[in-house]
Amino acid sequence: MINESIDRPAMEIVEGFKNLLRYDSVTCAISNCMGGLNAMTSNIKPLFDGIRLAGTAVTVKTIASDLAAAFKAIDLCKPGDVVVIDSHGSANTAFWGENMTLSAINRGVCAAVIDGACRDVEEIRKIKFPVICKGFVPNIGSICGYGDINVLIQCAGVAVSPGDIIVADGNGVVVVPKDESVVILEKARRLLETERLVQDKIKAEKAGYAEPPRSLGCAQVARRQTGQGIGHARAPSLARGREGAAFALPINIGAIKGARDGRRSGRGNRPGADVPLSADGVLEEARDSGPKQNCGRPEAGGAARCGRHDSTR
């Protein structure tokens, strides 16, 4: 069956979908507006990156490996149309090639979407004609004169009628039913504009947000706390674990201050007065200068002593 004329959507509707291509991920928004439906399966891929388009579907249903209907459909296309071929998922026969591409360009066709394979991929990539298909194979079909044009078909799991609107970007291909195109266009336009405003707000908030330091040194904690007259209060400091994660470490501020003062006066355990302590150094001196603890290990004299906490060992 060959239907030479189809009921096309109004030109302003098609142009409206083309205007949406100024947004990123248009197909995602359109799919959302259709309840998460009408997206072709993920195994249909563009021949090269950067394909973004919107056009009216001219449908082809092949029989076996016959290319006749696909060639005839090109002759029936108008500028801006998309040839959509139901080649019953054939992976071993190509239903599109260089000569068909050149003919399509002459007719103003904007793309070909094939539920099967194509060939002459090197030449088509040089021409930069958008082809979206399921694979590549050198074998070409024959021309016997069989097949249907502008009938209801399926392509990559989605029903496609002649006159439906095909939209493609880096995320994939969606099919907008012609009868719902006006409503879907308006919904998608509002959704994309709302997303843009939300993203602009998020970016503005990030630009005005000053990130805190990745870690706060123990000496900084001591200076801040003692400057506020907190004295020996235990304040959390940030330390880094083996995987780089920050965790709270309780620090004896008085011990840290004493260790730092001892360093400045030359009485610290390490040489080099007036040399600021690193975080690790302050921690070590805080432990050394902190109150001694008795671990309860008995010594010869009967007293509970510990070599770790008794400097006289």
> Which DSSP symbol is given to 35?
T
Report the candidate in 59, 67, 77, 247 with the shortest Cα–Cα distance to residue 164: 59
88 vs 306, which has greater pLDDT? Answer: 88
| pLDDT at residue 230 greater than cutoff 50 | no
| pLDDT at residue 173 greater than cutoff 80 | yes
Query: Going by C-beta distance under 8 Å and a sequence separation of 6 or more, which residues neighbour residue 99?
Result: none
Mean pLDDT of 227-254: 45
Give the H/E segment covering residue 203.
helix 181-207
Whole-angstrom Cα distance, residue 264 to residue 144?
97
**CA torsion, ordered 85, 90, 95, 97, to nearest 10 deg:** 120
| pLDDT at residue 47 greater than cutoff 70 | yes
Helices and strands counted in the chain (H then E)? 9, 14
Backbone angles phi, psi at 147, to 5 degrees: 130, 170
Structural domain boundaries in the chain: 11-199, 218-289
pLDDT bucket at 220, cuts 50 / 70 / 90: low
Backbone angles phi, psi at 235, to 5 degrees: -115, 145
pTM: 0.66
* Residue 11, token pair as written in the block: 């030109």
Query: Going by C-beta distance under 8 Å and a sequence separation of 6 or more, which residues neighbour residue 71?
Result: 100, 103, 143
The class level of CATH for 11-199 reads alpha beta
- For residue range 118-171, what is the model confidence (pLDDT) as tens digits? 999 999 999 999 999 999 999 988 888 899 999 999 999 999 999 999 999 999
Q: Do 149 and 1 contact (CB within 8 A), yes or no?
A: yes
How high is the mean pLDDT of the chain?
79
Whole-angstrom Cα distance, residue 290 to residue 255?
5
CB-side neighbour CA atoms (13 Å) of 246:
10
Query: Going by C-beta distance under 8 Å and a sequence separation of 6 or more, which residues neighbour residue 170?
Result: 25, 46, 49, 50, 51, 52
| pLDDT at residue 279 greater than cutoff 90 | no
* Residue 63, token pair as written in the block: 């029989």
Q: Do 118 and 97 contact (CB within 8 A), yes or no?
A: yes
Query: Going by C-beta distance under 8 Å and a sequence separation of 6 or more, which residues neighbour residue 24?
Result: 169
